Amino acid sequence: MATDCRESSTALLDEPPVMEEDNRESLDNVIQQHDDPIADESQPKRIGKRRREPTVTRDIVELTKPRIVMMILVTTVASAWIAMAGVTGVSLSFGAWIVLLLGTGLVAGSAGAANQVYERVIDTLMPRTASRPLASGRMSLAAGVALTGAAGLVGTGLLAWEFGALPAVVGAATWALYVLVYTPMKTRTAWNTTVGAIAGALPVFMGYTAAGGQLTDLSGWMLFGVLACWQYPHFMAIAWLYRRQYAEAGFQMTTTVEPTGRSAAWQSIAGTIALATCGVVACLAPAGEWILSPASIVTAACVLAACWPLLKASLRFRQSPEDIRARKMLRWSLVVLPAVLLVMTLRMIGL
């Protein structure tokens, strides 16, 4: 349930190119563009690109925000591997992996669907969300609510059945924070990004505890820290690119309440530094105890190297808040997260 100060996430990650004020396309052309926040709007090949005709199946999938779900599943796999290799020694069977991914995906999809149910009216005010199933009227409210409830209940039930109460409780808490707290906050205060970052990072504990990890483990909290801190540069970039649409729709984002971009830039810089710090700590203390070894030093250096391009992009955005620099920051955020997770996983499994 990654922050959707846009929507992330995870978003996470389904935004169309930003429209410049002096070169706005018609609503029809904008909706026809393929969702891609990192694309340069000057590329003519993306203008007028047709989207596939909506079907019931595609609408159901879109309702769950599949790109955000995919990101959550990737972090779930990483967190489970880290728990198994670095802390618990537990080994999940193939069947257990299937249940973990299915249960987590259903809970995450339910949260994304609930978000669209809540924002179905305001979504009609923004070109990037006006074509969503509920906002466009292709899906009824009753159907959206039914799918939301069914996915959430089945997903939580699967986690409880296979792994016990703790992963299921984490999933339910994540859902509640994302839907009942974060979503309403988006039209009230720019602090919604912080709450969304927490909600977006909590799913790591679903995979971590399912593999035998505990909520008191340092490695679990460093994973949480990486995910939470990463969302600042990632979503500040998106919030900048869509600042006009957010303002017109009434969303209280950092880039709408403080439109100079300075606050967004500083939050991106701080988030990147904190992300790198969490990754380094995880490499130096993989099992909760500090270990200075060649492996820990090399992997910590790899984390710093992976985070450097994102920090550099954030610093440049601070110097001159422009769309092209925000887009570069967004691109690097998409590279940094999987890179850091890969290094942390390799360190935990002893490579």
Judged by average pLDDT, the poorest of 47-51, 86-90, 142-146 is 47-51
Residue type, 289: E
Q: For residue 295, what pLDDT is reported?
A: 87
Between residues 285 and 101, the one the model is more confident about: 101
- In order of 107, 129, 254, 297, 340, the CA distances from 242 in angstroms are 28, 12, 11, 40, 27
Q: For residue 158, what pLDDT is reported?
A: 97
Residue 285 confidence (pLDDT) above 90: no
The pLDDT-based confidence of 3 (bands split at 50, 70, 90) is low
Mean pLDDT of the chain: 85
Mean pLDDT (whole number) for 100-108: 96
Residue 46 confidence (pLDDT) above 50: no
Residue 14 confidence (pLDDT) above 80: no
For residues 251 and 265, give the distance between their C-alpha atoms in angstroms, rounded to a whole number. Answer: 19
Helices (DSSP H) in the chain: which residue ranges? Answer: 27-32, 56-63, 66-83, 94-118, 133-136, 141-163, 165-176, 183-185, 192-201, 204-210, 218-241, 243-249, 254-257, 262-284, 294-319, 323-348
Domain positions in the chain are 27-348
CB 226 within 8 A of CB 275: yes
pLDDT tens per residue across span 113-146: 999 999 999 999 888 889 999 999 999 999 999 9
Sign of CA dihedral 289, 293, 295, 299: positive
Residue 36 confidence (pLDDT) above 90: no
For 27-348, CATH number?
A: 1.10.357.140
Q: For residue 2, what pLDDT is reported?
A: 57
Sign of CA dihedral 120, 124, 125, 129: positive
- In order of 7, 122, 144, 318, the CA distances from 149 in angstroms are 21, 22, 9, 42
Q: For residue 127, what pLDDT is reported?
A: 87
Mean pLDDT (whole number) for 287-292: 77
pLDDT tens per residue across span 137-161: 999 999 999 999 999 999 999 999 9
Tokens of 176: 């509640």
Residue type, 219: S
Q: For residue 87, what pLDDT is reported?
A: 57
Look up the pTM and report it: 0.81
Q: For residue 88, what pLDDT is reported?
A: 55
Which among 204, 232, 261 has a CA at the least distance from the CA of 71?
204
The pLDDT-based confidence of 42 (bands split at 50, 70, 90) is very low
Residue 21 confidence (pLDDT) above 90: no
Residue type, 295: A
For residues 101 and 173, give the distance between their C-alpha atoms in angstroms, rounded to a whole number. Answer: 18
Q: For residue 51, what pLDDT is reported?
A: 60
pLDDT tens per residue across span 52-84: 777 888 999 999 999 889 989 999 998 998 888
Which among 94, 95, 20, 34 has a CA at the least distance from the CA of 67?
34
Q: b vs e for 212-232, b when ≥16 Cβ sit within 10 Å of the residue's Cβ?
A: bbeeebbbbbbbbbbbbbbbb
